[in-house]
Amino acid sequence: MSIVNRVAESGLIQFDPATLVKDIAVSVISLSDFLHEEPVLREKSFRKAIAAHDWTGYTGHYVALQIDQETLVPQWAAMLLTSCLHPYALGICLGDQAAALDVAYESTLAKLKVKDFNQKNIIIKGCSDGSVPDWVYVRLMEVLQPYANRIAYGEACSSVPLYKR
């Protein structure tokens, strides 16, 4: 008698949200790195430092621009950095590494081929390593529900039903 994997044969799609950003690169740039150890932005030296910086190192990255609370910078400073990063980065935000990761998740969710889930039974994997923000699960539900036949949370052996068409 052979062992049959009924889960594999059921057509059930196991979706792990952690895989959405598995191979992405996230970088954080501090505006203070371009201020030459001054707490106040001086436009001429700021522009000179930006012009000398190699932005190609951020190709394919999601980048967070971070402004230290001790520094005084005008609003246009982050906008200027964004204009330098735009040709290379996949996404840019103001904040920390978690904010850049949020941008990466949102970008990936926007590109998700939801039609592939049309009339399918889906289990959204939970209990991962904890790195997936809670809001991603909410967005997944919002994105997949119009297409899915059923959606559950957990593992195939122990899942919580969430939606049934």
Q: Which ranges in 67-96 belong to alpha helices (H)? A: 75-85
Contacts of residue 90, Cβ cutoff 8 Å, sequence gap at least 6: 24, 60, 61, 62, 104, 107
Q: Which one, of 129, 135, 158, lies nearest residue 19 by Cα?
A: 129
Q: 129, 18 in Cβ contact below 8 A?
A: yes
134-144 helix and 97-111 helix, angle to the nearest 10 degrees: 10
pLDDT in tens, the chain (165 residues): 666 555 555 679 999 999 999 889 999 999 999 988 788 899 999 999 999 999 999 999 999 999 988 888 899 999 999 999 999 999 999 999 999 999 999 999 999 999 999 999 999 998 766 689 999 999 999 999 999 999 999 988 889 999 998
Encoded tokens for 15: 């979706």
Please state the domain extents for the chain: 6-21+113-164, 25-89
What's the alpha-carbon Rg for the chain, to the nearest Å? Answer: 21
Q: Round to whole Å and give the CA distance between 157 and 120.
A: 18
Q: Round to whole Å and give the CA distance between 93 and 162.
A: 33
